[in-house]
Structure 1
Amino acid sequence: MNPSVAHQTFKLGQFTVPRLWIGLWQLSSNSWGSASVSKVRQAMGRHVEAGYTAFADHYGSAELIFGQFRSSLDFPESVLGATKWCVFKPMVVSVETVETAVRQRMEHMRTERVDLLQFHWQDYDNHDYIHALEILSQLQTRGLIAAIGLCNFDARRTDEICARFPGMIVSNQVPLSLIDTRASYALADVCGKHGVKLLTYGTLCGGFLSDKWIGEPEPDPYSGSLNPSQRKYLDIILKAWGSWALFQDLLVVLRGIGDLHDGASVSNIAMRWVLDHPVVGAVLIGARLGHTEYPSDNLKVYALALIPADKAKIDEVLARSTGHRMIDTIGDCGAEYR
């Protein structure tokens, strides 16, 4: 593999963006490892120089730090910032309330418009999400939003929304990994039908899908050594997907495949597997900026091409798991947050 291979890109509304993004959820808490704001901005700069020109998420101080960073660039328009508007509690949906939410994000990110606003609605029984999307469409027409996406919407509601607003929705941010394959079923069909791209998170399961965990004993979720993402994905691995022993089998298979591809890492293989799904636009990498990050290794994904024999080896392990049942035991994408 040639690490200097050109970045793969895709069209997202009016933007052309890379297929690897930096997710900023780790800025919501020091539980992921603390770093000063200056170190975080320096890490953002290193990533942009390496070609990571899309950042996403709004947790904690993410919008503020990203806004400070991007506004300092000579060409800030060359870096895309995606954020969210999440409605968790009942609210009065009006032009005023929706516009206030959008303008708050514009202020935080120091921009005259939101590049990609990803919309999450908690209560499906409250159909005001349709009214909220109507207003977001109006704000897009007014130039306050460049592109509108969804976050953690399931197949049924994604289909409903895309049919109601043809061509408006460009993306849906959902989990997708070798462990959690729910988005590859009905949601993938819906997104393919409507031309919506998936932006996937949890693709490395909080870092468990990496060489670091090969041969390691099952971690204690209460030991204090795991970050919030790792506790979440360990629970999924053990209770919904299979067992730690089976997970070790998967890591060994991925390591073997990597050895056949110029020493590609386990994380490389896991990300490439997700990127090979036709409806996937990008993988969001939860780099712990200023603390733990692997920009050079992650770039190797672009030069990696899995062959049918590789995927067959992976499928053999997945067939021994209960991953295919997660859409029933947990529910479709986003059900775990509702």
Structure 2
Amino acid sequence: MAAVTHPPPAVPTTMTPAHETFQLGPFTAPRLWTGLWQLSSNAWGTASVSKIRQAMGRHVERGYTAFDMADHYGSAELIFGKFRASLESPNSVLGATKYCVFKPIPISRETVEAAVRQRMERMRTTQIDLLQFHWQDYELKQDYILTVDILNQLKGEGLIAAIGLCNFDSLRTDEICTQFPGVIVSNQVQFSLIDTRPLYGMADICTKHGIKLLTYGTLCGGFLADKWIGEPEPDPYSGSLNPSQRKYLDMIIKAWHSWTLFQELLCVLRDIGARHDGLSVSNVATRWVLDHAVVGAVIIGARLGCSEYPDDNAKVFSVSLTDEDRRYIDDVLTRSNGSRLIRTIGDCGGEYRC
């Protein structure tokens, strides 16, 4: 399938003065989400639970009313559940979690329902807003199809409000959405200026079935930021990089192209930001992803209580990239291996199934 090039900006269903929104199943959701994967390990830095909950409150006050977590993100579900239960209007905050099957297990109504109810208990809710399903072994097709069927039954019984996928490739996303029309509302995948694989097949599937992408890795673990302009290529073994940075550095210098070309991309993004009232590199990189019509939201990881940038992130809603901006970006991207990543790494999520 051909790549999607220069799509028009996605039109939000509603807009507040600060945040764009989009329709996600029964929810009107913000287009920037707070990712809680950094609660899965102290390697990213840690704060007390009280500070994390205070940070969640600051995010909600600024319009970041959607949080993404998973069953294997440490205590993320527990912390979120206690935080949301403390709010005067708990239903004003959307909680998205995951049901991840990394190793073969017997699939039955009992095992799937038990996993869902565990999510509900940890999140202190009688209904999961968005349950995103990840399945590791595609060879077990009958089992992952059965799991989706059971999740859909549980949705019909009110335990789940909306069902999404996580790191499914184009082929299996199409397969599931075809077999269960109208059931799947989203697929969470990696998407950035460095990793453009969703443009080569996945975008067409999303358009075909009317589902949205929830994207992570959009800032490449923080490398798509002004602070890295002019910096030498970091040593992945120095101990100064967190797990996300080691992952994305490897992608930048081994799969995408080189640190030298990446520096050129950073400078281009800085210059574009300067033409738009001093926006940051991160702002421009995020806006570029949001401007694809199949993208519902960008999930930005936050070290809650340690470092967070809600005010800077919100600036993405004040900018529209011009055709000239896109041409400057494309000039760099066409000299990279970005269009070939789908063959060297595999389709969306392929890096987790090597």
Give the TM-score of the pair, scaled to structure 2. Answer: 0.94
| Matched residue, 1:163 | 178
> Aligned runs of 1:302-321 on 2, under 5 Å?
302-321=317-336
> Aligned runs of 1:13-92 on 2, under 5 Å?
13-58=25-70, 59-92=73-106
Aligned counterpart for 2:214 among listed residues 172, 175, 199: 199
Give the TM-score of the pair, scaled to structure 1. Answer: 0.98
Structure 2 gaps of 5+ residues are 1-15
Provide the aligned length of Structure 1 versus Structure 2.
335
Do structure 1's residue 329 and structure 2's residue 329 form an aligned pair? no
Amino acid at match of 1:246: L
| Matched residue, 1:147 | 162
> Aligned runs of 1:227-246 on 2, under 5 Å?
227-246=242-261
State the 1:88 CA deviation: 0.7
| Matched residue, 1:261 | 276
> Aligned runs of 1:79-228 on 2, under 5 Å?
79-127=93-141, 128-228=143-243
CA contact (8 A) 2:273 2:280 kept: yes
CA distance in 2, matches of 1:6, 1:53: 12
Deviations, residues 74-115 of structure 1 (Å, cap 9, x unaligned)? 000000000000001111111100000000000000000100
Amino acid at match of 2:275: L
CA distance in 2, matches of 1:6, 1:297: 12
Amino acid at match of 1:238: I
Q: Give SS of 1:288's match.
A: coil
CA contact (8 A) 2:18 2:314 kept: no
CA distance in 2, matches of 1:228, 1:138: 37
Q: Percent identity?
A: 73
State the 1:5 CA deviation: 3.5
CA distance in 1, matches of 2:312, 2:56: 16
Q: Give SS of 1:220's match.
A: coil
State the 1:6 CA deviation: 3.0
- Structure 1 stretches of at least 4 aligned residues deviating more than 3 Å after TM superposition: none
CA distance in 1, matches of 2:222, 2:303: 11
> Over aligned residue pairs, what C-alpha RMSD do you find?
0.7
CA distance in 2, matches of 1:64, 1:237: 34
